Structure 1
Amino acid sequence: MLLVNLIGPAMLVIGLLYLEDYETRLIDSEIDILEAQATLIAQALGETASVEDTEPRHFNIAMDPELARRLVNRVATPEGPRIRLFLPDSTLLLDSRRVVGKGGLIHIEALPPPDQTSGGERAFNAVYNFIAPGWERFIRRRPLYLEREDQSAQDYWETSAAVAGETGGGVRRMADGRLIVSAAAPAQRFKKVIGAVMLSRPADRVSEAVRSVRFDILQIFALAVAITSVATLYLAGAIARPLHVLAQAADRVRGRTVLDQPIPDLSKRRDEIGDLSTALRDMTDAIRQRMAATERFAADVAHEIKNPLTSLKSAVETVARVDDDERRNRLLAVIQHDVQRLDRLISDISDASRLDSELAREHAEPVDLAHMIRIFIDIETASLDDGDETAPRLRLELTPGVAADGARALIKG
């Protein structure tokens, strides 16, 4: 019973593990934000481009690397998105997460926030982090994020499009299973592409939002399981177990010729099971009474049959030894009388048995007793002499509407 009751909540949890539409909307929102930021930075870089008049009616427009580096360093923060700037020839000009210092190349990474989750949530996160990557790979096959040491704009489709003058974004999956969103926009001066700005960051906020929703759903599921378990135990104790007890008692009664096995009395429950218990007890009592009546009837029949049989046996034994015709005729008359008596007795038994079977098969319905008695009185009155004043007269004084359940077809017969 518990497993059947858990099918609904389990299907709900399995369905909510996807949350595909919700996650897709969050990712699209992150990409839109990165595209807007990349466009702003690209516009600012476009304004810093230098314009040189090398030939008549020909301008050489190029990006100032130093101004671009200072602008990116001012805009970039450890908590913000990673900013990469590619030149029109697809080479990487600068990366906000990589800074060249005295000791060499320095990688900048933001520290994770302090862990303030509860014990239950940490346990859930451990299980979730173990299952979620494989689940996501099975459900959605996202492209894998690969980063080479000598990066090029051609390594990413959004920067390839940005070098061509188009803005775009996308989402990839990193080797550890986390998602990373990115967007790129072209830096232009007089509609000439002088570089491509790429912004990227892990979609941890999206994953955390989806994780939070799933954790809430699992909490609701745990509560539903607890309530369902309690309800199942209650129903098992209040319904299933009493029904099982009644069924066992009925089986014990069915398997015995003597109805000495009592049916449990559950009438104090005052519900359907109590009504069933009362009905079973009444049925058992009725069967017991019917069996007792059958035993008494069989004893009476045996007694009634034994008397004419005894007389018949005595007459038969005597008639063989009697030579007087008159006495033989009297004995034969006795034998014939006893045979007729047996025939009437057997006919009465047959009629009584047939009456019981007919009453069992007939449908009982209300019969107007006043109307039936009035018919009997009319029949009796019609047979009396109207001129005889001393003859008895019958008068019916009965409240109208008095009825009793009976087999109308047998009464008419």
Structure 2
Amino acid sequence: MASATDTANPDPAGPDSAGRPFRKRTAGRRRFPGLPGSRLGRLILILNLLGLMILVSGALVLNELRRGLVNARIDSLTTQGELIASILNQAATVGEPTPQMDAALATELLQTLSNPRAQRARLFDSEGRLVADSEWMADEVERRVLPPARARDDQPMDFRLLPPARAPTRDQIQQALQGEVSTALQGRAWAGMRQGDRGRRVVSVSIPIRHVRAVLGVVTLEASDVDAIIARERAALVPFILIAVAVTLASSLLISRLVAQPVLRMARAADRVRQARARAISLPDLARRDDEVGDLTRSLEAMTQALSERMDAIEAFAADVAHEIRNPLTSLRSAVETLDLVTDPAARERLLNVLKNDVQRLDRLVTDISNASRLDAELSRDQPRAVDLRRLIADIAGIYQATAKPGDVTVEFAPHKGSETVTVMGREGPLGQIVRNLIDNARSFSPKGGMVTVGLVRVRGEAIVTVADRGPGVPPENLETIFERFYTSRPKGAAFGGNSGLGLSIARQIAAAHGGTLRAENQLGADNRVIGAIFTLILPVAGA
């Protein structure tokens, strides 16, 4: 009862439910070429990944920078340590045949060669004892910021209540340094990071002082600017983090504005339709959007508009049914009221015939109305299948031929040559109902003993079924009216109540549901005189 609506590809010339023309979407246009998915999905993916990529790329760059700086510091300290160890070996080695290191001379040389402001240098003898330290020789005073002064009446802080420090203890720091020196005394240079005396991480190298094969001592150089390097790296990472957070917030707000808020508006509009019992939903500003939200809005508007049209069709159908049933009921009531007052047997017989005809008409109306009301459900329930149209029509025509009585209108099936196999996609039951309704209509307008001819031909991917009779034809002004519900124009002599006016309407509705058309024409003779009517059903052939 309602026409099918294509909401996926609306006609660009046709208006939507609010009277605006639809904008046809271009299937091949993609805002971000090369990425799969929908436009809105690609936008969400790119925006969410952008902030993460910025943060990750910044972290990777700074990690590489940190690693490179530490390695460069180790290389620099190793070069300096090897140079100092070589000089001490050449200038501060005394004694033959057992070489020893002159501690005083080595201390003077270490003071000359080291740079206390850049790194800390230590000298250990062959027993691992500390001989010299650049901090002893540097003329510097260590400065520390004092804590703020407290009032006299303030209670002294109980240090016993403080939590234990997480930094390594002095003994642990000394053990790490001794392990490093022990490794160097075995003749192997050591380079890496460890904790310094003040709890700071330092880059340290220990180079053995070798004289031939003997190890006379160890030179240890350490740089304590690692924490400063890391602090600068963290400060450099802050802008990347801020940018990533800003991009993430902006993308989240954009997604919320583009997706979450429109969906919420559509939900509220649907609630208003439900609560106010409205017929359609309308969101003009969202329907103009050229993305998936716009498609969803237009689909919802088209869906509610189709439902509204179906409700109007149901209301009109109910009104037509009430009008058509009221006529035979009025006739029945009048006949029943008059029957008791009539004493003439002939008159009573005529009234009884009227009652019988009205009952038959009501029965025919109820049957056709039931078929029409179930039609939409049947068409939506069954799945289309390949139907051999030639076999279907031959079976229907065979039933009419087998049940025909003397004097009845005969039905002849005359398919065109070359139409041995004509297959269409559809539902066999409704398609057979079209053919039966057309044949019944043609028989009702055919003279007694006449013939109804059913034809079938395939032309350029279309199956054409014709049903022709030899009746009075159809008035030209009624060639379309006859397909309206409850329209009937009975020929003289036709049985009263034999037509409900729903057969042709149901046939056209089924044809439209299968993508076909149904029309009526008049057959003209040699002298342009109407010699009958012909109904033409056109259906698309499967696979064409």
TM-score clears 0.5: yes
User: Is 1:170 aligned to 2:170, yes or no?
Assistant: no
User: Residues 124 and 131 of structure 2 are in contact (CA less than 8 Å); yes or no, is this contact kept in structure 1?
Assistant: yes
Secondary structure of the residue aligned to 2:353 is helix
Deviation at 1:20, TM superposition (A): 7.0
Residue 21 to residue 199, structure 1, CA distance change in 2 (3 Å)? same
The alignment status of 1:243 with 2:263, answered yes or no, reads yes
Question: Could you say which residue in structure 1 is the equivalent of 2:80?
Answer: 37
How has the CA–CA distance of structure 1 residues 277 and 393 changed in structure 2, closer, same or farther, with 3 Å as cutoff?
A: same
Kindly report the root-mean-square deviation, in angstroms, between the aligned alpha carbons of the 2 structures.
Answer: 4.6
CA shift, 1:179, in A, is 0.8
Q: 2:308 aligns with which of 276, 288, 291?
A: 288
Among all aligned residue pairs of Structure 1 and Structure 2, give the percentage whose two residues are the same amino acid: 35
Give 1:352's aligned residue.
372
* Cα separation, 1, equivalents of 2:197 and 2:89: 35
Matches within 5 A, 1:33-112: 33-49=76-92, 51-52=94-95, 59-99=97-137
Matched, 1:160 2:198: no
Within a 5 Å distance, the mapping from 1:305-324 to structure 2 comes to 305-320=325-340, 324=344
In structure 1, give the amino acid aligned to 2:181: T
Residue equivalent to 1:184: 206
For normalisation by structure 2, the TM-score amounts to 0.52
**Pair 41,303 (structure 1): closer, same or farther in 2 beyond 3 Å:** same
Q: Determine the structure 2 residue equivalent to 1:140.
A: none
Show structure 2 runs of 5+ residues with no match: 1-40, 145-164, 385-423, 426-457, 471-524, 532-536
Match of 1:401 in 2: none
Contact 2:328–2:358 (CA under 8 A) maintained in structure 1: yes
1:201 to 213, 219, 223: 223
Deviations 1:162-186 (A, max 9, x none): 3333322332124765211222222
Give how far 1:323 is off: 5.2
Shift in alpha-carbon separation, 1:236–1:179, aligned structure 2, 3 A: same
Higher helix share: 1
- Tell me what 2:317 maps to: 297
Find the counterpart in structure 1 of residue 362 from structure 2. 342
Q: TM-score, with normalisation over the residues of structure 1?
A: 0.66
Alpha-carbon distance in structure 1 between the residues aligned to 2:460 and 2:70: 87
**Greater mean alpha carbon deviation, residues 225-234 or residues 318-327:** 318-327
**Kept in 2: contact 1:312–1:335 (CA 8 A):** yes
Structure 2 residue identity aligned to 1:172: R
Decide which moves more: 316-325 or 63-72.
Answer: 316-325
One-letter identity of the residue aligned with 1:278: R
**Alignment gaps of 5+ in structure 1:** 54-58, 101-105, 112-133, 138-142, 382-387, 395-403
Secondary structure, aligned partner of 2:118: coil
Which position in structure 1 is the counterpart of 2:479? none
> 1:246 touches 1:263 (CA, 8 Å); kept in 2?
no
Contact 1:168–1:184 under 8 Å retained in 2: yes
The answer to whether the Cα contact below 8 Å between 1:145 and 1:172 also exists between their aligned partners in 2 is no
Amino acid at match of 2:271: D
304-313 or 326-335, larger mean C-alpha shift: 326-335
The reply on whether 1:253 has 2:273 as its aligned counterpart is yes
Deviations 1:215-234 (A, max 9, x none): 44442232122123223323
Q: Distance in 1 between the 2:200 and 2:263 partners?
A: 55
What is the aligned residue count? 347
* Whole-angstrom CA distance in 1 between matches of 2:220 and 2:466: 112
The AA in structure 2 aligned to 1:95 is: D
Q: 1:220 aligns with which of 203, 217, 240?
A: 240
Contact 2:270 2:281 in 1 (8 A): no
1:372 and 1:91 mapped to 2: Cα distance?
106
Please list the CA deviations of residues 99-118 of structure 1 after superposition, one character each: whole Å capped at 9, or x if unmatched.
Answer: 49xxxxx766699xxxxxxx
Alignment partners' CA distance in 2, 1:324 and 1:393 = 44
Q: Secondary structure at the match of 1:316?
A: helix
Provide closer, same or farther for how the CA distance between residues 190 and 238 of structure 1 changes in structure 2, counting only shifts above 3 A: closer
Task: Tell whether 2:165 aligns with 1:146.
Answer: no
